[in-house]
Amino acid sequence: MSKKPLTRRDFLKIATVGGGALAASKMFRPVEASEAVEGEHQWAMVIDQSKCTGCGYCTLACRAHNDVSPDISWNQVVQVENLNGHPVFLARPCMHCAHAPCVEVCPVQASQYREDGIVMMDYDRCIGCRYCEVACPYGARSFNWEAFTGPNPAVPEWGEPEVPRRPRGVVEKCTFCFQRIDRGLALGLTPGVDIEATPACVVICPTKARIFGDLNDPESNVSQALRSQVSYRLREDLGTAPRVYYLFAKLEES
């Protein structure tokens, strides 16, 4: 092979291949956001159906604190049965599953696990394909069919917005009020104990039907409640391992 000066064509070839390889190495770097990593805290919620009166305050507080459109409920409350003439309600936030179908199916990793167990949406990454919505067994996800403009009717009566509004064309859902948890932890507060660090729906509940706390802490109120009482989770047969637990409505108390 004779030595030839580098022609422009050769240079372009090398540059293209090199650049391509560089770009490829960037693209192929392992990203495992759809594998849950267990961190220091594992947040969970316990909802006591024997205490829930179906007042719907949680839905309204949630709308205000998370600036949710009136067309959307991150936290629905529905009547599920009648126990001796007393209605029984089911409040349904996002279950924050440990094996979340929405995280598995998202083509762009816009739904991700946080280390503390919260299933989080990246609204800047979501392309709005709605596959997560179709995949969620709990109907916890809502699509922004329209832009939410104008005043939020739940503000200021039920609280002040703490997070930016989501744009039109993305899917949104309950976040366990991650903004309150993160800010509270930074201030040295304990989520579930200090109200500033606790999800808005838990704080507002007039009958204290909701408990929030850390499953990793055996002394937290959720750990204690789950130890002392029989609980269930929604559609456990699917293996999604939700982080929202329910305590049964009891006959004598209702």
Partner 1 sequence: MKSFFLLKQRLSPWQVWIGILVFFVLSGLIAGVFVLWKGLSITNLSDFVPWGLWITIDLSSIALSAGAFSLCAVAYLLGLKRFEPVARTATFIGLIGYTMALLALLLDIGRPDRFWHALVYWNHHSLLWEVTMCVCLYLVVLILETMPLFSRLEWVQNRWPRLAQKMATVHHYAPYLAVAGLCLSMLHQSSLGAVYGVLKARPVWYRPGISVLFIISAVAGGMALTALASMISARLTSRARVNDSLVEQVSAIVGWILVAYLYFRFWDALALGYTYQPGRSEGLRILTNGALSFNFWVGEIFLGALIPIFLLLNRRTRSMPLFRMIALALVVGGVVAYRWDTNMSGLLVVLYSLPGEPVIGYANYFPSFVEFVSAAGIVAYGVLAFSLGVRYLRVVEHPVDESEVIYQTLPEPAAAD
Structure tokens at 225: 């409640």
Beta carbon nearer to partner 1, 104 or 182: 104
Structure tokens at 82: 């009648």
Stretch of residues binding partner 1 (CB under 8 A), selected from 55-63, 150-158, 195-203, 228-236: 228-236
Count of Cβ atoms closer than 10 Å to residue 109 Cβ: 14
Positive or negative CA dihedral for 54, 55, 57, 59? positive
Beta carbon nearer to partner 1, 41 or 210: 210
Beta carbon nearer to partner 1, 85 or 139: 139
Strands 43-48 and 231-232: unpaired
Structure tokens at 210: 């909701």
Beta carbon nearer to partner 1, 87 or 128: 128
Q: Are 103 and 34 in contact (CB under 8 A)?
A: yes
Structure tokens at 156: 């200021």
The residues, ordered by sequence, that sit 6+ positions from 28 with a Cβ below 8 Å of its Cβ are: none
Q: Could you tell me the smallest distance in angstroms from the CB atom of residue 210 to partner 1?
A: 17
Under rule CB under 8 A, residue 231 binds partner 1: no
Q: Could you tell me the smallest distance in angstroms from the CB atom of residue 107 to partner 1?
A: 4
Strands 210-214 and 43-48: antiparallel
Q: 70-105 in b/e burial notation, b at 16+ Cβ within 10 A? A: eebbbbbbeeeeebeeeebbbbbbbbbbbebbbbeb
* Candidate list 68, 154, 171, 204; residue touching partner 1; CB under 8 A: 171
* Candidate list 5, 107, 188, 218; residue touching partner 1; CB under 8 A: 107
- 117-156: which residues touch partner 1 (CB under 8 A)? 125-131, 133-139, 141-147
* Candidate list 170, 197, 244, 247; residue touching partner 1; CB under 8 A: 170
* Candidate list 83, 87, 109, 217; residue touching partner 1; CB under 8 A: 109
Q: Could you tell me the smallest distance in angstroms from the CB atom of residue 50 to partner 1?
A: 13
* Candidate list 14, 17, 24, 31; residue touching partner 1; CB under 8 A: 31
* Candidate list 44, 97, 106, 121; residue touching partner 1; CB under 8 A: 106
Q: Could you tell me the smallest distance in angstroms from the CB atom of residue 73 to partner 1?
A: 10
The 3 state secondary structure assigned to 3-40 is CCCCCHHHHHHHHHHHHHHHHHHHHCCCCCCCCCCCCC
Binding site for partner 1 (CB under 8 A): 27, 31, 33-34, 78, 80-81, 90, 92, 101, 103-110, 125-131, 133-139, 141-147, 167-171, 232, 234-235, 238-239, 246
